């Protein structure tokens, strides 16, 4: 038990003019204060309460500050820390989704190399970013759920930032995989505009339908069309080539670009419908 107490004037100097004490004296007083409630009471009377409160706030602010990833910090330089935080909370940017993308890309590349054609990769790749965006929107376009929908900042802007972030992340994962395809040439990037078009189409449809319905509809429509085309050209020695030309040749790319423009216009006009549980 502490029975000795620091001299009153020493405590007052410690509290009001700490620079007037040498290092040894200041350290001694500080150590003593840790174990002596009575002396702590003395310095409380001489401490600037406003300064103390500000100091505690500053300490608490550092301690409680949410940890930010490197990616979030980097994004913050471009879009501001608030938007960066909102984007970083996106479901589809979690490691599980990125890992799934890496795995699916690897399987598609192996399948493509096995059959000696880019078709398996190109025909599936456009729906992967779409599924990522769908996961982002499910069940509502925010990880904080309905509570976020009732917030003023939550709007089409946040939804689109998220969709863009997922799209870019998926592309960054899949682009190196595309480079490993056999006879790759320009086909390595042929899936990008269709992927963008399908994603934009689904976001556009989200202004009428639930996210699940919109993404499901576009995914099924794409896969059904691809499958139907492949079935129709069975027996044709140039089956893969014809299918790829149909979906990815320069003419098709132009059509996909038109879809992107149309869907973007739809989202712009109907953006208010993106921020509620139901799009209607």
Partner 1 sequence: MSPTIQVQAVSKRYGSTVALDDVTISLTQGVTGLLGPNGAGKTTLMRCIATVLAADSGSLRVLGHDTATGDGRLQIRRQLGYLPQEPGYHTGFTAFEFVDYVAILKEWADRRARHDEVRRVLALVGLESVMNKRIRQLSGGMRRRVGIAQALIGSPDLLVLDEPTAGLDPEQRLRFRELLGSQSSRAAVLLSTHQTDDVAALCQRVVVLFDGRVRFNGTPAGLAALATDRVWIAADRDPSADLAWVTSDGHVRHIGCPPGGSQLVAPTVEDGYLTLVGEPATRAVV
> By C-beta, is 114 or 146 nearer to partner 1?
146
Distance CA 273, CA 266 (A): 11
What burial letters (b/e) apply to 183-210, b meaning 16+ CB within 10 Å? eeeebbebbbbbbbbbbbbbbbbbbebb
Judged by CB under 8 A, the residue of 52, 74, 106, 150 near partner 1 is 150
57 binds partner 1 (CB under 8 A): yes
Size of the site for partner 1 (CB under 8 A): 35
- The answer to the question of residue 172 lying near partner 1 (CB under 8 A) is no
Residue nearer to partner 1 on the CB measure, 32 or 154: 154
Kindly tell me which residue out of 149, 230, 246, 255 binds partner 1, with binding defined by CB under 8 A. 149
Q: 153, 221, 224, 265: which one contacts partner 1 (CB under 8 A)? A: 153
**What's the min distance (Å) between Cβ of 142 and partner 1?**
7
Establish if 275 lies at the interface with partner 1 (CB under 8 A).
Answer: yes
What CA–CA distance (Å, rounded) separates 29 from 23?
Answer: 10
Q: Which of 95, 118, 96 is nearest to 108 (CA)?
A: 118
Residue 252 in contact with residue 246, Cβ under 8 Å?
Answer: yes
List 121, 126, 142, 204, residue binding partner 1 (CB under 8 A): 142
Question: Which one, 127 or 140, has the nearer CB to partner 1?
Answer: 140
145 contributes a contact to partner 1 by CB under 8 A: yes
Q: Answer whether 69's CB lies under 8 Å from 137's CB.
A: no
Interface residue with partner 1 among 19, 61, 77, 186 (CB under 8 A) is 61
For residues 109 and 251, give the distance between their C-alpha atoms in angstroms, rounded to a whole number. Answer: 26
Is position 176 an interface residue for partner 1 (rule: CB under 8 A)? no
Residues of this chain that interact with partner 1 (CB under 8 A) are 57, 60-61, 64-66, 81-82, 85-86, 89, 94, 139-140, 142-155, 158, 272, 275-278, 280
């Amino acid at each position: 038990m502490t029975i000795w107490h620091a001299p009153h004037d020493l405590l007052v100097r410690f509290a009001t003019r700490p620079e007037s004490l040498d290092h040894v004296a200041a350290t001694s007083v500080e150590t003593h204060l840790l174990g002596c409630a009575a002396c702590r009471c003395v310095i409380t009377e001489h401490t600037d309460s406003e300064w103390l409160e500000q100091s505690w706030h500053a300490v608490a602010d550092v301690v409680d500050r949410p940890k930010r990833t490197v990616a979030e910090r980097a994004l913050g330089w471009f879009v501001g820390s608030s938007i960066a935080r909102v984007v970083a909370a996106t479901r589809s940017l979690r490691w599980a989704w990125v890992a799934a993308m890496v795995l699916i890309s690897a399987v598609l590349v192996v399948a493509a190399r096995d059959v000696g054609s880019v078709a398996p990769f190109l025909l599936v790749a456009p729906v992967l970013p779409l599924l990522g965006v769908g996961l982002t929107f499910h069940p509502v376009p925010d990880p904080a759920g309905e509570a976020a929908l009732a917030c003023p900042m939550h709007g089409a802007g946040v939804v689109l930032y998220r969709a863009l972030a997922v799209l870019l992340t998926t592309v960054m994962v899949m682009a190196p995989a595309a480079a490993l395809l056999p006879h790759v040439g320009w086909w390595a990037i042929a899936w990008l505009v269709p992927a963008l078009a399908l994603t934009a189409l689904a976001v556009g449809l989200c202004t009428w339908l639930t996210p699940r319905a919109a993404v499901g509809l576009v995914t099924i429509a794409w896969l059904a069309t691809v499958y139907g085309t492949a079935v129709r050209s069975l027996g044709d020695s140039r089956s893969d080539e014809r299918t790829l030309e149909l979906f990815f040749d320069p003419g098709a790319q132009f059509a996909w670009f038109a879809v992107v423009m149309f869907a973007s216009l739809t989202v712009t006009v109907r953006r208010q419908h993106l921020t509620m549980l139901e799009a209607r």
